[in-house]
Each structure stands twice: as C-alpha cells, then as structure tokens.
Structure 1
Amino acid sequence: MSDKPKIAIIIGSTRGARFADKPAQWMLKQAQARSDMTVEMVDLRDFKLPLFDEMASNKWMPSSDPKALAWQAKIAEFDGYIFVTAEYNHSITGALKNALDQAYNEWNRKPMGAIGYGGVGAARAVEHLRNIAVELAMVPVHGAVHIAGGDFMAVHPLGANGEIETIEDHLIAGATDLLDDMAWWANATKSAKK
C-alpha cells in the first residue's frame, strides 16, 4: 500500500449541460503527472444524493439515508479534495453544497482546494467554498486555479470551445501551486493523525 496521499477531484455540478468535465479532466491530467499523490475523479452525478434531510449532521448522529452513507464512505477514502466548481450567483452549485452537507466527519482535518471557472474564474464561489470548508474542519489551501474572462470564453462551448491546453500556460502556475499545497498538507494532516 502506498504512503502517497490519495486526492479526490470532485466534480461539483450535476447539470446535463455542465462545463465541469473539461477542467476536471485537465486537472486530473496535471495531478496524474506527479509522483507525490494518487488521484481519483469523483462525480456527484454518480451518487444521486437527495437534499439533506437527516435529523442532524453525522458529526452528531449517524446518517440514515443509504445514498448519504455511500457518499460518506466514498469521501472517507481520500486524504484531500480538489473541488471543480462553477459560480452560481456568487457561490457554489446547490449540488455541491448539498454534497458537502451530507457528511462532516469524513471531511475533517483534510486539505481542500479548487479549480473554478466562469467570468471571474469562480473567485467568489471558491472564497465561499473555503468558508464552508473551515466549518467542516477542512484545511483550505492557498493555491487555486481560476479559468476566467477571455480564457474561459476561449474554452467554453458558448465561446471558441477550444481545448484547455490552448490556455494552459495561463493556468499551469496555479495548478502547480495547488497540487504542491495539496501534497504538503495531505502529508502533514495524515502524519498528525498517526
């Protein structure tokens, strides 16, 4: 068994017309090129989570919904999380917020980062996501990737619909910082738990 931290790249949108797959696949490729972590794509679509309807967070009592339990088991497998997020009305998607609310213990004391996309690179959504992560006892890292403005329109289907590689030189420094932070913090938090 590897000592390398296991990082989830979580696709935070479930819409049929979502753009998230393109940046998620690019981020997966960047992470897989490294030797200091293993990475797996986790798609919220695969879990079909109901709206949160438990008596309380699983911080206080076990969840009862089998779909919530399956989600909790999946995210418990990881040492850190990179969320792929759009910006909806200055925040994250409802699907991502619901997924975050469906667990508590499984997120604790693990790093999180983000790759955001949209007009302002989902900067406000990523900021909100970091605040939510603090409440869930995660460790938000400094590094992030923001696909914004002209770069966003160069790769989005409503724009030029180019490949992410056409704007990669604008993103790679942020991706490197994010992945460096994730590796360092995942190793630090794993070590502290021993």
Structure 2
Amino acid sequence: MTAPLQLAVIIGSTREGRFGPTVGRWFARQAEQHEDMAVDVIDLAEARLPGELAGRAPAEVAAVTERLAKADAFTVVTPEYNHSYPASLKTLIDWHYTQWQAKPVGFVSYGGVAGGLRAVEHLRPVFAELHSVTVRDTVSFHGAWGRFDDSGEPLEPDGCNTAAKTMLDQLAWWGFALREARAKHPYGG
C-alpha cells in the first residue's frame, strides 16, 4: 500500500474581509475526497510570516517550513490583486527554496472578471524558478463572491467540482511520480 500523497493547500490572502478561506475550505473538502491524499491547510493569515527576509528564520517561518517540507504537492489558493498575486504569497515563497523543489503545484484562483487567472500566470514562472512543476489545469472562480452560498458551497457545483477533480488527478499523478523519483534519486537542483 502506497502512503497517501501529502497535499498542502495554501490560502494566500491575508486581507481583512478576505474571501480566500471560503474558496480554500471548499477546495480542501474536494481534496479530502481523493482517497490517496492527506490534506494540510496552511492559511497565511494564521501563519503570520514576517515580511522582512533577513537573518535566521523566526519560529513562525520554521513552523511553516516543516509543513512545506512534508508536502508532496501544493495547491495555491490565490486572489488577484492588481493583476497579480498577493504579497503574502511572495513572502511565503521567498522564505523557502528546497521545500518547493521537484514537487507539483496546482492553482485555485478567484477574483472579478478574470477570476484570478492573471495571478496564476504570474505564479507559474516563479515556481518554475524554484524547480517546481505546475499542473496545466486550474480551478478559477470569476465573480467569486456571488458563486458561493452562505455555507461556503458553490451555487453551481458541477463545473467547479469537475475542474477540482481534474486538477487533483494531475497533482496526484505528478505528486506520486516525483515522490518516487526523489526517493530513488534526491533532487539536486
């Protein structure tokens, strides 16, 4: 029996009144339905990472570092701020390096008309620089605030649940393949 894939779901928004937890919790529930995945939700608002990248990493960073290191795959839940992703995500990314290497990254985005897709397109080359593999398919919520009910469930679940399953299947394929490859031959990026 193969050990479950460790999937870190990262909620990237830290803004007051943010919508990210609604989208992130929905996606985590989708991932938990994948029998071969164990889910760890990392909410950056709770992590409280310092923005100053200087010297030794403080305890807040060390706690997140351990969780990222254990992950076999990542899903980044991101809003779109000014045609890009939030500074909180960049801070998380920049505090870490080897934790991202040779692991797949998927994206769940949300926003207005563009649904956060411009944020995703900005994140892809950043993760490529970190030697991560981004999966092609994403989950995107256009006009997200009107797409969920008061209990945090999508009003029209069929399309988004299908998109989530497609992306999770890709993450699982890459996650297992890369975990096996890292075990046989440690990545030396």
Whole-angstrom distance in 2 between the partners of 1:47 and 1:22: 17
Q: Find the residue that maps to 2:8 and give its secondary structure.
A: strand
Whole-angstrom distance in 2 between the partners of 1:187 and 1:96: 25
State the Cα deviation string for residues 95-134 of structure 1 (Å, max 9, x = none).
1111111100111111001110011110000111111111
Q: Is there any run of 5+ residues in structure 1 with no aligned partner, and where? A: 56-62
Is 1:76 the equivalent of 2:65? no
Show the 5 A alignment for 1:1-194.
Answer: 3-54=3-54, 63-119=56-112, 120-149=114-143, 152-155=144-147, 163-194=152-183
Whole-angstrom distance in 2 between the partners of 1:71 and 1:52: 16
8 A contact 2:109–2:116 mirrored in 1: yes
- Cα 1:111–1:52 change in 2 (3 A) is farther
State the Cα deviation string for residues 147-192 of structure 1 (Å, max 9, x = none).
014xx24236xxx868433121221221111100110000010000
| TM-score, with structure 2 as normaliser | 0.88
Whole-angstrom distance in 2 between the partners of 1:75 and 1:96: 13
Aligned residue in 2 for 1:59: none
CA shift for structure 1 position 139 = 0.8
Aligned residue in 2 for 1:60: none
Whole-angstrom distance in 1 between the partners of 2:3 and 2:151: 37
8 A contact 1:155–1:162 mirrored in 2: no
Instruction: For 2:140, give the aligned amino acid.
Output: H
CA shift for structure 1 position 65 = 3.0
| TM-score, with structure 1 as normaliser | 0.86
- Deviating 4+ runs (over 6 angstroms): none
CA shift for structure 1 position 45 = 1.9
Q: Is there any run of 5+ residues in structure 2 with no aligned partner, and where? A: 184-189
Larger displacement relative to structure 2 (64-73 or 13-22): 64-73
Instruction: For 2:121, give the aligned amino acid.
Output: E
- Cα 1:162–1:69 change in 2 (3 A) is closer
Percent identity over the alignment is: 35
Aligned CA RMSD, in angstroms, stands at: 1.9
8 A contact 1:8–1:42 mirrored in 2: yes
Aligned residue in 2 for 1:58: none
